[in-house]
Structure 1
Amino acid sequence: MHRKRLIAYSVHVLTASGVVPAALAAMEIASPTCDPRIVFLWLLLSTLIDAIDGPLARRFHVKKYAASIDGRTIDDLLDYLTFAFIPLLLIWRMQWMPIGLGWTVVLAMGASLFGFAHTEAKDETDGFFRGFPSYWNAFALYAGIFSTLFSPWLTAITLWILTVLTVAPVRMIYPNLAPRAWKPTVMIGALLWTLILLAMLYSFPRPPIVLVAVSLLYPVFYAFLSWHLSRRS
């Protein structure tokens, strides 16, 4: 019993450790010579922690053996910081929005607050998020590319659309809890997509257009599959 409790509390410590890369990402944004690539790498580390702590919590029955700590609260606080607040702040800091409109990232921050606080934010039974699941960390990388290679208006319009979808009653797949038949495809696709994003980061913010186009295939697949499975369920 003591061993199980120790492991369960260790999972909580792992979840809480996500505050370290979050703080380092925030420090880089505050730097006079902010390098967004460093921010993205810290955010990637926090995403990796987030990806493994949930399965570990279920595997080691954290709710039973470490019930005095609410891991979901820790997880939600860090998710808001690293998936929403910090990457949106980076977009504002790097001036990737049209002149005078950088402040509108606050609307996305607010929408994400409501998204995280919604009582049906996560449907763990069917494996869905409610609304756009605040993947602003990935969007921020595209924002830098869109604004540099195309126009800040492309970044702004996409951000505003996703802001509305964040509080809309749409359902998006929860990757860790995707239906069994689709989970390998979703998870492997996410891994390959991450590798492509890292490849784009190497020449950020001017990666090859072909690489950008290929990288967008997974978000399109994810959105279409979410719509398809949502209709079926």
Structure 2
Amino acid sequence: MESDRAAMDMERQSGGYGITHRLSAWAVHIFTGSGVVLGLLALLAIVEGNPRMVFLWLGIALVVDGVDGTFARRAKVKDVLPAIDGSALDLVIDYMTYVVVPAVFLYWFGLLPPHMGLVGAGWILLTSLYCFANTGMKSSDNYFVGFPAIWNVVALYLWLLDLDPWFNVAVIAVLGLLTFTPVKFLHPFRVRTLMTLNIVVVSAWLVSGAWLVVTYPERPGLVFGVWLATSAYYAVMCLWRTVRGPG
């Protein structure tokens, strides 16, 4: 009798969805949750002094984060498993892979000047807290409002470009400040305007970036050109949306 009552309660909580729907929803959450394991693997790669593997794991985590929302909507996870907050789960994992791991990376591999590593890493962690806690993080057309704490991407640029450590400090300082501004940043998987083109461009950026990680410190001309061109496209889209004004 108790088991029947428990089953009925579970059925009511899931809106009457069957076992197949619940298993699909749990599978999506597990897929999203794999990001925290990928973050752990990236941290271990930092300790082992292997930057290539750091970006391999972070790259996979980036792909998981880019597509899990689509899977969640198709599986109707909010309706099937209403007791599980997928948004909170996603934010926890993103803070690890987008913020904590890159901050440790910049500190560990000396991309910041002596005695500035801890300051820079702390700045990244603190400013990102505002981004993740900001209820106005997204505009009505799904652009990020303020720098969206994509420090994994920043760390990749600073490592591949091998810039002066003091220049890196300036970059980190400016981006951290942009967190608190109305500057718009493109979300290639959510913004509907030019979505297909955005996805093609970001895919080219991912492939060319992965190629550069593998061949580092060499920069094959064509691949490096594609990487820079796709980066410029992203910057132009952000600038265009920012200039266009509120929304």
Segments of structure 2 that go 5 or more residues without pairing to the other structure are 1-16
Aligned length: 227
Spell out the pairing of 1:137-176 with structure 2 (5 A cutoff).
137-147=152-162, 150-176=163-189
Match of 2:32 among 15, 34, 59: 15
Give the structure 2 partner of residue 73 of structure 1: 88
Using the alignment, how far apart are the partners of 1:210 and 1:188 within structure 2?
A: 17
Task: Compare CA radii of gyration and give the structure with the larger one.
Answer: 2
Give the structure 2 partner of residue 50 of structure 1: 65
Shift of 1:206: 4.2
RMSD of Structure 2 on Structure 1 (CA): 1.8
Contact 1:146 1:155 in 2 (8 A): no
Segments of structure 1 that go 5 or more residues without pairing to the other structure are none
Deviations 1:138-176 (A, max 9, x none): 2112212333xx422232221211111122222212222
The one-letter code sitting in structure 2 at the alignment partner of 1:195 is V
The share of aligned pairs that are identical, in percent, is 31
Shift of 1:209: 6.7
- SS at 2:189 equivalent: helix
Contact 1:146 1:152 in 2 (8 A): no
The one-letter code sitting in structure 2 at the alignment partner of 1:154 is F
1:217 matched to 2:217? no
Q: TM-score, normalised by structure 1?
A: 0.90
Give the structure 1 partner of residue 22 of structure 2: 5
1:61 matched to 2:61? no
The one-letter code sitting in structure 2 at the alignment partner of 1:200 is L
Give the structure 1 partner of residue 7 of structure 2: none
1:86 matched to 2:104? no
Match of 2:50 among 31, 35, 41: 35
Shift of 1:207: 2.6
Q: TM-score, normalised by structure 2?
A: 0.85
Deviations 1:87-121 (A, max 9, x none): 12101100011222112221012111110110111
Match of 2:207 among 195, 201, 207: 195
Deviations 1:199-225 (A, max 9, x none): 111222343477545423223321221
